Amino acid sequence: MKSVVKSILAVAASGLLVAGCGLESGGAVPLPVGPGSIEPIPELDGVKITVGSKDFTEQITLGYIIEFALTAAGADVRDLTNIQGSNSTRDAQLDGQIDLTYEYTGTGWINYLGNETPLPDSQQQYEATRDADLAANDMVWADPAPMNNTYAIAMNRQTAEQTGVRTLSDYARLVSTDPAAATTCVETEFNVRQDGYPGMAAKYEFNPDAAPRQILQTGIIYQATADGNQCKFGEVFTTDGRIIALDLVLLEDDRSFFPKYNPSLVMKKSFADAYPEVLDVMAPISEKLTDQVMTELNRQVDVEGLEPADVARDWLVSEGFVTTG
Structural domain ending residue among the three candidates 250, 282, 316: 250
pTM: 0.84
Specify whether 173 is located in the same domain as 232. yes
Tally the domains of the chain: 2
User: What CATH number is attached to the domain comprising 280?
Assistant: 3.40.190.10
What value does the mean pLDDT of the chain take? 92
* Phi, psi dihedrals of residue 79, rounded to the nearest 5°: -100, 115
Specify whether 136 is located in the same domain as 266. yes
Structural domain ending residue among the three candidates 250, 278, 308: 250
Residue 66 lies in a domain: yes
Specify whether 38 is located in the same domain as 127. yes
Determine the structural domain holding residue 207 and report its residue range: 151-250
Structural domain ending residue among the three candidates 191, 217, 250: 250
Specify whether 266 is located in the same domain as 142. yes
Specify whether 74 is located in the same domain as 133. yes
Specify whether 141 is located in the same domain as 157. no
Give the side-chain half-sphere CA count within 13 A for 255. Answer: 14
Is residue 212 a contact partner of residue 184, using CB atoms and an 8 Å limit? yes
> Where does the pLDDT of residue 118 fall: very low under 50, low under 70, confident under 90, or very high at 90 and above?
confident
Specify whether 222 is located in the same domain as 82. no
Q: Which of these ranges, 154-158, 164-168, 240-244, 312-316, has the smallest mean pLDDT?
A: 240-244
Specify whether 160 is located in the same domain as 140. no
User: What CATH number is attached to the domain comprising 195?
Assistant: 3.40.190.120
Specify whether 305 is located in the same domain as 156. no
Residue 47 lies in a domain: yes
Specify whether 267 is located in the same domain as 287. yes
pLDDT of 262 > 50? The answer is yes
> Where does the pLDDT of residue 23 fall: very low under 50, low under 70, confident under 90, or very high at 90 and above?
low
Residue 309 lies in a domain: yes
